[in-house]
């Protein structure tokens, strides 16, 4: 049985088909209809962040801060080309093959 | 002929049997293979296991090494050279790993034999292992219940005696929560402790590889093998060499244990609450001093996590486009439809949902309101822990507010599923280390189900955490309980 939470119409409305296009993801009409309210409710929950005063707070991108990690500029061995291409769905002449891009 | 393999042995005990030649590494793998064949069809902890390769590798085991001849199950998100690796996703159909993840390479250096692909939620997105493209995994304590997730296969195998130990990965609790729900030990190391090279990325600023084991000592033994700086992962850190088992066996006198009031709130399953309360008293009787603390931004952790994790995931999963590896849709007409159709066919629902949410929070006009704000609140959450650790050596809490739920119980309500991760998520946002270990049972719907105790430690404080966990474990008998159906 759906819970009260599930029945609540979310305050947030997302344009799911548009976002799916941005993400290069084909979705069905049924998926769009399902995801819209589900993601809307998640964003409703996320809204509580707005209660906090975050002025002057620095953002955290990584919890354990490391700066400018550089290794010695030495040539090391890479995987052989054949090994990499072996995983490709379609390859020929040592290259990845995709549908024609330019006419 | 009866197999010399004994299920539920710790790594430490198995190592003694191997060194005294009571069992050979090949016999151990064969015994484990037999155990998997008889038990695992009921559990589904493994996606597959390559017995022949493991036997060949076991033949050359160097028993003088710390993990010589010890088989370790590997979560399907971590690459093992020459083996398929799919993060339990159809989009990686046909992919064979061309190299070992650094964690796997380090296990080999210590003498271990990688054995078995452990089931998981697709791309580690989930808390129940129901999102696997292969099959769901069942909880060894109650087969109609979930094992937790996303490292559900890794936990269920240890709990049903079909693996001595396994690797998992933890982005928001994916090692600790299944360990809790299956009644085994799970360790999420500090961010940067273990290289992520060869771990199929979910959320790069949160992901960390760690062990699932039957004892706390075994977690330390495995972390000894796994930890260390790796030139392939710029976020792995150069730290002094450390034996993570060195503090094990020392008592708890003088240690201060923080009890965060925000983690002991109403709404928790009563049996979880009482088990954890009793465990705190036990820690005190062992000499630890309890200190009430506050982590005031706890209530925001789930919101922050689902912004940051989905944003990072939407970027990380862009690489799965049907061009270089994995599956490709046969229905593509042009390059755009190749991307769109491949991804539509290859990703499961939860992954699609999170990619769309991540795309939304990073999209123009919303970035500041969501992603940037979440990163700032993440700073506040991290500061809560910094402050707490000026007063205490470790923080104690339940790992999960509830025990294992039934398969299908939450699949229709993602938000409800997400909120169950409330006690584990902040750990990853703060980058600190966390351990879950068995602390009793809770009666849910007439079934006794395992409860996990969570111990959180300072960044790079794993040794202290393992000392506290071991002292607690050895003073109770919870770690010796086995699911009756599989003893």
Q: What is the pLDDT of residues B126-161, one digit of tens each?
A: 999 999 999 999 999 999 999 999 999 999 999 999
In a domain, B180, yes or no: yes
Query: What domains sit in chain A, N to C, each tagged with a CATH number?
Result: 1-53 (1.10.20)
In a domain, B333, yes or no: no
B139 near B181, Cβ under 8 Å? yes
**Which backbone phi and psi does B33 adopt, to 5 degrees?**
-60, -40
Q: How far apart are CA B484 and CA B140, in angstroms?
A: 9
How large is the average pLDDT for residues B189-193?
97
- Would you call B173 helix, strand, or coil by DSSP? coil
Q: B256-260 and B289-293: which strand pairing?
A: parallel
Show which of residues 7-26 on chain A sit within 8 Å of chain B, judged by CB atoms: 14, 16, 19-26
B82 near B108, Cβ under 8 Å? no
B454 near B399, Cβ under 8 Å? yes
Supply the ipTM of this predicted assembly.
0.92
Q: Is A101 on the interface with B (CB under 8 A)?
A: yes
Do B235 and A64 make contact, defined as CB atoms within 8 angstroms? yes
B18 near B69, Cβ under 8 Å? yes
In which band, very low, low, confident or very high, does the pLDDT at B71 lie, cut at 50, 70 and 90? Answer: very high
Do A63 and B432 make contact, defined as CB atoms within 8 angstroms? yes
In a domain, B357, yes or no: no
Residue that wins the pLDDT comparison between B131 and B364 = B131
How large is the average pLDDT for residues A59-77?
84
Number of domain units in chain B: 1
With beta carbons under 8 A apart, name residues in chain B contacting A91.
none
B385 near B295, Cβ under 8 Å? yes
Of A24, A38, A45, the CB nearest to B340: A24
pLDDT given at position A7: 55
Strand partners, B395: B258, B456
Q: B289-293 and B209-213: which strand pairing?
A: unpaired
Residue B426's domain comprises 11-262+273-294+383-486
In a domain, B37, yes or no: yes
The alpha carbon of residue A52 is apart from the nearest alpha carbon of chain B, in Å, by 8
Q: Is the pLDDT of residue B375 over 80?
A: yes
Most distant CA pair in chain B, distance? 69
Do B415 and A2 make contact, defined as CB atoms within 8 angstroms? no
Q: Which secondary structure element, helix H or strand E, spans residue B450, and what is its range? A: strand B447-457
pLDDT given at position A2: 47
In a domain, B441, yes or no: yes
Of B303, B326, B376, the CB nearest to A59: B376
Show which of residues 66-95 on chain A sit within 8 Å of chain B, judged by CB atoms: 66, 69, 71, 79, 83-84, 86-90
**Residues of B annotated as catalytic (active site), given as ranges:** 75, 150, 174
Q: What is the chain A residue with the closest CA to B98?
A: A83
Q: How far apart are CA B370 and CA A48, in angstroms?
A: 11
The CATH code of the domain that includes B207 is 3.90.1300.10
In a domain, B362, yes or no: no
Q: Which residues contact B383 (CB under 8 A, 6 or more apart)?
A: none
């Amino acid at each position: 049985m759906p819970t009260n939470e599930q029945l609540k119409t979310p305050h947030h409305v997302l344009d799911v088909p548009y976002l799916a296009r941005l993400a290069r993801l084909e979705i069905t009409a049924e998926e769009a209809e399902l995801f819209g309210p589900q993601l809307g409710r998640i964003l409703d929950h996320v809204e509580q962040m707005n209660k906090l005063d975050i002025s002057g707070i620095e953002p955290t991108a990584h919890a354990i801060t490391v700066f400018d990690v550089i290794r010695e500029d030495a040539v090391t061995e890479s995987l052989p080309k054949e090994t990499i291409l072996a995983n490709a769905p379609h390859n020929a002449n040592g290259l990845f093959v995709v549908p024609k891009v330019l006419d | 002929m009866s197999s010399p393999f004994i299920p539920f042995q710790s790594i430490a005990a198995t190592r003694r049997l191997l060194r005294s030649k009571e069992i050979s590494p090949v016999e151990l793998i064969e015994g484990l293979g037999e155990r998997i064949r008889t038990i695992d069809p009921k559990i589904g902890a493994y996606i597959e296991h390559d017995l022949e390769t493991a036997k060949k590798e076991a033949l050359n085991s160097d028993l003088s090494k710390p993990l010589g001849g010890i088989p370790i199950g590997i979560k399907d998100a971590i690459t093992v050279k020459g083996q398929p690796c799919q993060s339990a996703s159809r989009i990686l159909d046909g992919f064979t790993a061309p190299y070992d993840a650094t964690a796997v390479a380090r296990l080999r250096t210590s003498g271990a034999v990688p054995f078995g692909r452990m089931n998981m939620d697709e791309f580690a997105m989930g808390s129940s292992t129901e999102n696997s493209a292969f099959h769901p995994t069942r909880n060894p304590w109650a087969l109609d219940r979930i094992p937790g997730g996303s490292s559900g296969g890794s936990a269920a195998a240890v709990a049903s005696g079909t693996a001595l130990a396994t690797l998992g990965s933890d982005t928001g609790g994916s090692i600790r929560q299944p360990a809790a729900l299956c009644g085994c030990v799970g360790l999420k190391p500090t961010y940067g402790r273990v290289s992520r090279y060869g771990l199929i990325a979910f959320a790069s600023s949160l992901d960390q590889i760690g062990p699932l084991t039957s004892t706390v000592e075994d977690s330390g033994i495995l972390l000894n093998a796994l930890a260390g700086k790796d030139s392939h992962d710029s976020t792995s850190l150069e730290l002094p060499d450390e034996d993570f088992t060195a503090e094990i066996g020392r008592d708890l006198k003088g240690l201060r244990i923080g009890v965060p009031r925000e983690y002991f709130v109403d709404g928790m399953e009563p049996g979880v609450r009482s088990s954890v309360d009793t465990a705190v008293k036990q820690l005190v009787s062992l000499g630890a001093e309890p200190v009430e603390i506050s982590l005031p931004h706890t209530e925001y952790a789930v919101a922050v996590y689902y912004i940051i994790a989905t944003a990072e995931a939407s970027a990380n999963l862009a690489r799965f486009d049907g061009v270089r590896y994995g599956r490709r849709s046969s229905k593509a007409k042009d390059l755009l439809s190749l991307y769109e159709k491949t991804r539509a066919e290859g990703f499961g629902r939860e992954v699609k949902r999170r990619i769309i949410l991540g795309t939304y929070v990073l999209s123009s006009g919303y970035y500041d309101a969501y992603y940037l704000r979440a990163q700032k609140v993440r700073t506040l959450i991290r500061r809560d822990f910094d402050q707490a650790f000026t007063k205490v050596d470790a923080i104690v809490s339940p790992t999960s507010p509830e025990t294992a739920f039934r398969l299908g119980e939450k699949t229709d309500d993602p938000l409800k599923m997400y909120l169950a991760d409330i006690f584990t998520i902040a750990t990853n946002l703060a980058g600190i280390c966390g351990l879950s270990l068995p602390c009793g049972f809770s009666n849910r719907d007439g079934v006794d189900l395992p409860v996990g105790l969570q111990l959180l430690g300072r960044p790079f404080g794993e040794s202290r955490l393992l000392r506290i966990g071991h002292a607690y474990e050895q003073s109770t008998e919870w770690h010796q309980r086995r699911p009756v159906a599989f003893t």
